[in-house]
Amino acid sequence: MFPHPRRIVTGHNSQGAAIVVDDDVIPCLPTSIKCNFAVLYETHQFPVSNDEWVDPAKARTTDLSNKTGTVLRVVDFPPNTETLFHRTESLDFGILHSGEITCHLDEGARVDMKAGDVCVQRGTIHGWTNYSNEPARMYFILSAAHPVTVGGKVLKATGYSKDDVTSGGISK
């Protein structure tokens, strides 16, 4: 649908000078949930340590988000596709890079997005539909968050199987 995203990562050499530690294309591959994923980066602590370069894209993700850090993911939505209605235990920033996409929420709420729009998901259940005849590409930054509690009810992650959303694990 789109070219695989290029990821450039900077770091330091042994003398402390800024360098490029990785410059590569990360494959955006099909998933069983009707869209393609490329995990560009993932952290598992906060604050993160930038001391040592270990490529997180070499390991498969285990969920859409993680409980201790962040996930940077590209999602490509094919034309005329509806994804699952789901909730993650995270604070998500979805930046529509190309195409058009519709975010669906409870009670029929719907938000149509165009390239350049940003959707901030605060632990809400939602789904995505690409009603157009063109693909859409979104960049998502998911940050660990506590599950939402409303009226004493904890709203946990739901609507998907972790097996269906694991991705990444490139080998160079």
Q: What is the CATH number of the domain that holds 35?
A: 2.60.120.10
Strands lying side by side in the sheet with 29-30:
29-30, 36-42, 70-77, 136-144, 90-98, 118-122
Judged against a pLDDT cut of 60, whether residue 4 lies above it is answered with yes
Q: What domain range is 93 assigned to?
A: 6-160
Q: Give percent of the chain above pLDDT 90.
A: 81
Q: What is the rounded average pLDDT of the residues 62-83?
A: 93
Query: Residue 167 falls within a domain, yes or no?
Result: no
pLDDT at 70 over 50: yes
Q: How many CB atoms lie within 10 A of CB 168?
A: 22
CA distances to 16, 38, 40, 93, 102 from 139, in Å: 31, 10, 10, 8, 15
Asked whether residue 1 is domain-assigned, the answer is no
**pLDDT given for residue 118 in this prediction:** 98
Q: What is the model's pLDDT at position 127?
A: 96
**Is residue 45 domain-resident?**
yes
What one-character-per-residue DSSP string does 108-123 give?
G-EEEEETT-EEEEES
Which stretch of DSSP H or E encloses residue 163? helix 162-165
Confidence of residue 170 (pLDDT cuts 50, 70, 90): low
In sign, the C-alpha dihedral spanning 63, 64, 69, 74 is positive
d(CA 105, CA 143): 20
Total domains in the fold of the chain: 1
103-141: pLDDT as tens digits? 999 999 999 999 999 999 999 999 999 999 999 999 999
Q: Which residue has the tokens 């050499």?
A: 13
Structure tokens at 72: 């940077």
The answer to the question of residue 168 being in a domain is: no
Q: Which amino acid is at 113?
A: M
11-53 confidence digits (pLDDT tens): 999 999 999 999 999 999 999 889 999 999 999 998 999 999 9
